[in-house]
Amino acid sequence: MICILTVNANTVIYTKFCIIIIFLLTIIKEDGIMNWNCSRKALVVTIMTIFALMAGGALLFSCGEAEKPVEEEKVLEPIKIGVVGPHSGDLASYGLPTVKAAELVAEHRNAMCGVNGRKIELVVVDDVCKPEVATNMATKVIGEKVHVVLGHICSGATKAALGIYNDSKIVAMSPSATNPALTQSGDYPNFFRTIASDDAQAELEVNFALNVLKLKKIAVLHDKGDYGKGLAEFAKSFIEKDDRAELSLYEGVTPGAVDYSAVVQKIKQSGAEAVIFGGYHPEASKIVSQMRKKRMETIFISDDGVKDDTFIKVAGKYAEGVYATGPMDTTSNPLAIEATEAHRKKYGDDPGAFFLNAYSAALALINAIEKSCSTDYDDIVKALRSEYVATPLGIIRFDNRGDAIGVGFSMYQVQDGVYVELK
Amino acid sequence: MDWEYFLELFLGGLTRGSIYALIALGYTMVYGIIELINFAHGEIYMIGAFTALIVTGVLTLLGWNHIAILVLAALAAVVYSSAYGYTIEKIAYKPLRNAPRLSALISAIGVSLFLQNYVLLAQTSDFLPFPAMIPDFKFMEPVAHIFSSSELVILITTAIVMILLTFLIKFTRIGKAMRATAQDKTMAALVGINVNRVISVTFVVGSATAALGGVLIASHVGQINFYIGFIAGIKAFVAAVLGGIGSIPGAVLGSFVLGWTESFATGYISSDYEDVFAFLFLVFILIFRPAGILGRSTTDKV
């Protein structure tokens, strides 16, 4: 999801740029031939001013970010944690909560005795979620001699920076990069994350269908969008890998269509016992309602695009019994409540996106340094993989690929008009 | 060949076709009279659905019975949407009647965007549940697995609306005036026909059918939001062109043909290419019959 957003952000910037140029061209045209020279000068001046302003703004910003107050009375070398992510631009709302989480954790630890007597110091750097900026910023934090990195936020930027950290033997932990290949490719042994990867939902859906519901024939549908189709493709490959079930249908439906009866008939014709749907709730509720109206009892399993109360509101009585995966419920975790409370107290509002994931990542990194009594790459990696740590997301450790064990999705089912987590 | 599957797809296409037809009828009427593609038509349909939702909500609170609510909601939707249709014509199209056709078309797109965003701001951007107002008939229960009650109601309504419209145009005074206006506006005005009134009536009738469609389709689908008019409008427009824009039986036939094409393409090939087949078919028809299936080809005299 983050990846797509990055592309969109770029497009927006280009569009804005184009609009400015078109606007300037219009000025020239309307000025006519009389003032041609004059306005061309004006154009050059305007463009230069814009560039100067943009460059100036960026410089000011990065200076402001880099100069963090340094503890004067340190006895030992501080532990430096690089916090890299988008802190300005369109995607700032994804990156800033991570900075706040890191600040809260660091403040909390420093108020006690830090990590093994060493204070925690944050090096906050802005990568605007762009791969090309991310590589520069990675080099920058390495130059600052950070011990570990909390970041990056977007999958694309993370991927670009990981090679550089790997060469310098620095652990990077992302609270939000969900691209499956980051851990599964095995290219980045230094990478860890406290969020489940994109294919985790599909895997959970298929496992649930095969192990719990014991189904033999499954149809996979998607809404042709990036998110839905991506999930559906993973689900399809998981079903095909397993001998216990057969993929009876794989189709994309047109989002927004007035009627899905043909697809519904096709599901019936294929003899599928269940439908796994990748997409969002408007299409899901239409398909479910039409299936039930045609007196079909086919089981419906979907993703966190459907695990939304709007789905239950819209599909009404037809929503009953529908399964959907969603992030594990953390609202009863005392650490999560404490972290959210601390955020409210310090910043005066509710935390933003990936806050708990980032809080957990910061705790996991600090825990690994503390337990291994070292800032060496090999020791930290070993500790991350072996030591359990209590976080707002639950008690977690990391597997050999870098994915967090204990973080992920749960299966929910609509029972009496509410989503209930199935244990 | 699996005949039951074929029948199911056939009926599915029929439902889809009658949904398109209810919207396409308004398109084709307006085009027939003033040769304007009324892009705001889909939005009138959407407004009809919203009005019905609000009226239903209020009446359900008052505890009225089902059929009374359906009838009253449909009536309210028809009246409200017709008022919109009338006003839009007066504000956005009438001042442009003698302007180039492109200007009126752009004005239509503008009205469409305006209404969409107006509903977005005045109501909500969320999907809203629309109550199933068409009851499940007892006698439909044996065939409910292939053809539901709401589909039957939509099909019958489409047929009735089509027959009434044909009657209106063929056998009434205002219908005669409409046909005259469609042939030649200046000449019609010269023989004493109030052209402005005829055009207003056309918009009112067209909007009324769209509102009726809005109520029935929203009730069948079970959800509405501000954007439903756009997609339904585009598909209905394609159906109207396919059948021959300007012709009322043509719009209905075109809608059914489009519905069947989509249904069979989904059933026998893949729903990934549903739209591709629908539009391929449109291109194919237009190559051999440029005026559409039932359209009359007009020759421009220079």
Residue B38 scores a pLDDT above 80: yes
Residue A7 scores a pLDDT above 50: no
Residue A41 scores a pLDDT above 70: no
Q: Are B191 and B180 in contact (CB under 8 A)?
A: yes
Nearest-by-Cβ selection for B222 from A268, A281, A314: A314
Query: Between the CA of residue B286 and those of A374, B262, B292, what are the distances in Å?
Result: 76, 17, 6
Indicate whether B36 belongs to any domain. yes
Instruction: Give residue A66's pLDDT band: very low, low, confident or very high (50, 70, 90).
Output: very low
Would the CB atoms of B267 and A252 count as touching at under 8 Å?
A: no
> In chain A, what residues touch B20 (CB-CB under 8 Å)?
258
pLDDT at position A332, please? Answer: 82
Instruction: Give residue A60's pLDDT band: very low, low, confident or very high (50, 70, 90).
Output: very low
Residue A28 scores a pLDDT above 80: no
Between A63 and B99, the more confident residue is B99
d(CA B134, CA B155) in angstroms, rounded, equals 13
Count up the domains in chain B and report the number: 1
pLDDT at position A169, please? Answer: 93
Q: Which of A66-70, A170-174, B231-235 has the lowest mean pLDDT?
A: A66-70
Whether omega before A152 lies within 30 degrees of 0, making that bond cis, reads yes
Nearest-by-Cβ selection for B262 from A262, A269, A296: A262
Phi first, then psi, for residue B222 (nearest 5°) are 90, 0
pLDDT tens digits, one per residue of A151-199:
899 888 999 999 999 999 999 999 988 888 888 888 999 999 998 888 8
Kindly list the domain boundaries of chain A, sorted by start residue: 14-47, 79-195+332-405, 199-321
d(CA B4, CA B2) in angstroms, rounded, equals 6
Instruction: Give residue A275's pLDDT band: very low, low, confident or very high (50, 70, 90).
Output: very high
Indicate whether B300 belongs to any domain. no
pLDDT at position B148, please? Answer: 84
Range with the largest mean pLDDT of A53-62, A203-212, B117-126: A203-212
> In chain A, what residues touch B275 (CB-CB under 8 Å)?
254
Q: What is the rounded average pLDDT for all residues in chain A?
A: 83
> In chain A, what residues touch B235 (CB-CB under 8 Å)?
258
pLDDT tens digits, one per residue of B48-101:
999 999 999 999 888 888 888 989 999 999 999 999 999 999 999 999 988 888
CA A100 to chain CA centroid, nearest Å: 17
Residue A50 scores a pLDDT above 70: no
Would the CB atoms of A266 and B146 count as touching at under 8 Å?
A: no
Indicate whether B297 belongs to any domain. no
Residue A5 scores a pLDDT above 90: no
> In chain A, what residues touch B148 (CB-CB under 8 Å)?
293-294
Q: Which residues of B244-277 are buried (b: 16+ CB within 10 A; e: fewer)?
A: bbbbbebbbbbbbbbbbbbbbbbbeebbbebeeb
**Angle, helix B3-34 to helix B149-171, in steps of 10 degrees:** 30
d(CA B240, CA B21) in angstroms, rounded, equals 8
Got the DSSP string for A62-102?
Answer: HHHHH-PPPPSS-SSPPEEEEEEE--SSTTHHHHHHHHHHH
Instruction: Please enumerate in sequence order all residues whose Cβ is within 8 A of that of B138, keeping only pairs 6 or more positions apart, or say none.
Output: none
**In chain A, pLDDT over 90 holds for what percent of residues?**
49
pLDDT at position B193, please? Answer: 94
Between A3 and B249, the more confident residue is B249
| Helix, strand or coil, per DSSP, at residue B105 | helix
> In chain A, what residues touch B53 (CB-CB under 8 Å)?
none
Would the CB atoms of A269 and B2 count as touching at under 8 Å?
A: yes
Which CATH number goes with the domain that contains B127?
Answer: 1.10.3470
Would the CB atoms of B129 and A316 count as touching at under 8 Å?
A: yes
Measured in angstroms, the CA of A401 and the nearest CA of chain B are apart by 35
pLDDT at position A33, please? Answer: 42
**Burial class (CB within 10 angstroms; exposed 0-12, middle 13-18, buried 19+) of B60:** middle
Would the CB atoms of A316 and B262 count as touching at under 8 Å?
A: no
Among A293, A298, A311, the strongest candidate for a mutation testing the B interface, having the largest count of B CBs within 10 A, is A293
pLDDT at position A49, please? Answer: 66
Would the CB atoms of B266 and A262 count as touching at under 8 Å?
A: yes
> In chain A, what residues touch B220 (CB-CB under 8 Å)?
259
Query: Between the CA of residue B157 and those of B22, B23, B142, B151, B216, what are the distances in Å?
Result: 8, 12, 22, 10, 9
Instruction: Give residue B290's pLDDT band: very low, low, confident or very high (50, 70, 90).
Output: confident
Indicate whether B224 belongs to any domain. yes
Measured in angstroms, the CA of B26 and the nearest CA of chain A are apart by 18
What ipTM is given for this predicted complex?
Answer: 0.87
**Cβ under 8 Å to B: A residues 283-322:** 285-286, 289, 293-296, 310, 313-316, 318
Indicate whether B9 belongs to any domain. no
Please state the rounded mean pLDDT for residues A197-222: 91
pLDDT tens digits, one per residue of A393-404:
988 999 988 999
> In chain A, what residues touch B210 (CB-CB under 8 Å)?
none
Residue A67 scores a pLDDT above 80: no
The number of C-beta contacts closer than 8 angstroms across A and B is 100
User: B125: domain range?
Assistant: 14-288
User: Which is nearest to B34 in space by CA: B84, B82, B93?
Assistant: B93
Q: Do domains A79-195+332-405 and A199-321 have the same CATH topology?
A: yes
Indicate whether B233 belongs to any domain. yes
pLDDT at position A29, please? Answer: 52
pLDDT at position A40, please? Answer: 64
CATH topology classification for A79-195+332-405:
Rossmann fold (3.40.50)
Would the CB atoms of B227 and A256 count as touching at under 8 Å?
A: yes
Between B56 and A37, the more confident residue is B56
Measured in angstroms, the CA of A251 and the nearest CA of chain B are apart by 6
Beta-carbon neighbour count of residue B281 at 10 Å? 18
Indicate whether B2 belongs to any domain. no
Among B15, B154, B262, B271, the strongest candidate for a mutation testing the A interface, having the largest count of A CBs within 10 A, is B271
Residue recorded with tokens 């109030």? B194
Instruction: Give residue A261's pLDDT band: very low, low, confident or very high (50, 70, 90).
Output: confident
- Which pTM does this prediction carry? 0.75
> In chain A, what residues touch B232 (CB-CB under 8 Å)?
258
Indicate whether B189 belongs to any domain. yes
For the A199-321 domain, the top CATH level (class) is: alpha beta
Q: Are A328 and A409 in contact (CB under 8 A)?
A: yes
d(CA B62, CA B81) in angstroms, rounded, equals 24
Question: ∠B133-B134-B136 over CA atoms, to 5°?
Answer: 125
